[in-house]
Chains A and B, each alone.
Chain A
Amino acid sequence: QVQLVQSGAEVKKPGASVRISCRSSGYSFSSFHIHWVRQAPGHGLEWMARINPSDDTTTYAQNLQGRVIVASDTSTRTVYMELSSLRSEDTAIYYCVRSKDIVTYFDLWGRGTLVTVYS
């Protein structure tokens, strides 16, 4: 079955870091880019980062540079996203998303991981 399976919900304190995983199945892992897109409660969608698992090249949203790191593990078909220096504004659902290449649409979405940041 073609799917992206994400890790479970997280609760973190301000200043901490969170690491979310996204395991792919049912397709050629290295043939698609993986992105991270987040959605704050009641808000729209925000693109965060992209990785090409075939060569591990990454691109990050300018407003998150320095706080977000994305990495992939081909042996386990898993992509990880780590967001550091968490603030209350980072409370959101985080989705991992697939695209065939850089310019095309997002054709497969994970179910999302809720990250709650509060003290």
Chain B
Amino acid sequence: SYVLTQPPSVSVAPGETARITCGGNNIGRQTVHWYQQKPGQAPVVVIYYDNDRPAGIPERLSGSKSANTATLTISRVEAGDEADYFCQLWDSDTDHYVFGSGTKVTVL
């Protein structure tokens, strides 16, 4: 089955840039979505179709991909960005949905 690998944690100072990676075999050929989850809340999509933002999501959040890595970039990090972030895709080979293990972003 398809596996998405994320670092467990990323720490960043306010105003700096956080980069959250999501590794997967040939992920560059897949469509990747990103979710933010704050404590006690359900996840919310923050990036869909690799680099589109839903209404209300600031331009500071962006997505990108290379051959085997997708990246969520949070520029000018704010305290409110502190959350868990999950990448996700649909695996057409199995018709299953795969989530990364999640990355906890801590704002120092």
Interface residues of A (CB under 8 A from B): 35, 37, 44-47, 50, 59, 61-62, 95, 102-107, 109-112
Contact = CB atoms under 8 A, between A and B. Distances in A.
Given A95-B42, A107-B45, A102 B90 contact: yes
A109 B90 contact: no
A80 B102 CA distance: 27
A44 B90 contact: no
A66 B91 CA distance: 21
11 contacts: A37-B99, A45-B99, A47-B97, A47-B99, A95-B42, A104-B48, A105-B48, A105-B49, A106-B45, A107-B54, A109-B42
B96 A106 contact: no
A61 B97 CA distance: 9
Q: What are the 7 closest A-B residue pairs judged by CB atoms, nearest first?
A: A47-B97, A109-B42, A105-B33, A105-B48, A45-B99, A44-B102, A44-B101
Nearest to A103: B90
B96 A62 contact: yes
A109 B33 contact: no
Contact of B100 (A44, A47, A62, A102): A44
Contacts of A47: 96-99
Contacts of A103: 31, 90, 92
A106 B35 contact: yes
B73 to A, nearest CB: 18
B8 to A, nearest CB: 10
Contacts of B26: none
Contacts of A59: 95-96
B62 to A, nearest CB: 16
Contacts of B95: 59, 102
Contacts of A44: 86, 99-102
A111 B90 contact: no
B19 to A, nearest CB: 19
Contacts of B1: 62
Contact of B86 (A45, A102, A109, A111): A45
